Amino acid sequence: MIKFYELVSSLNSKCFFSPNTWKTRMCLLHKGVQFETIPVTLLDVRGDLAHRSNKPDIYVPAIELPDGQFIYDSFHIAEWLENTYPDQPSLFTGDGQSTNKSHLGHITMGKNYARMIDLGLGASKPEWAVWFDLFFPQLDQLISDEKLSNYFRSDARHGPQGYQKLMSLDRQDLIRRAKMNIQPLVQILQE
């Protein structure tokens, strides 16, 4: 069975808070794939998961296949699911048809839109940073495990005085920048 590694604020928590892992969970469910959820913290990802996968730069979402192979990144996982389960509804067309029965142009267009969103909303550090900065105080409150909280607030994680800088950012300015960040997507949706 596929193992699906999903980010939690502590191992005692059932609060899965990563939007990227939500995308993968929805893809697995949409394709009707049986999977086991393995909750992991940021420390687990950098420690045990990186060691077991032999990928020091691994991040979540990640899946482990029955043969021990790891795939990570929500888009890479979606492409793997699309290719591995072609008789199930396509992840990229939205028409409910299986990948095998879908028009190739619809799949290509769906993949292009998915990739555009993936690249356009979060590919560059400045674009992604505003979303992280905006939600950082809420993420900080979610982490109840003391060891994980210490790591999350540390200079090793965010650079010298990084935690203090993130907590003191002007929220109204962050909201303004976040709204500007999604304007290209709003224009596409209005057309």
pLDDT of residue 33: 96
CATH value of 2-85 in 1.10.357.10, 3.40.50.300, 2.40.30.20, 3.40.30.10: 3.40.30.10
Local confidence band at 23 (pLDDT 50, 70, 90 cut-offs): confident
- Relative to beta strand 62-64, strand 2-7 is antiparallel
Instruction: Report, as an integer, the average pLDDT of 43-72.
Output: 92
Per-residue pLDDT tens for 82-102?
999 999 888 877 666 666 666
| 140/69: higher pLDDT | 69
Q: How many residues does the chain have?
A: 191
Domain spans of the chain, in order of start: 2-85, 125-190
pLDDT of residue 28: 95
pLDDT at 152 over 50: yes
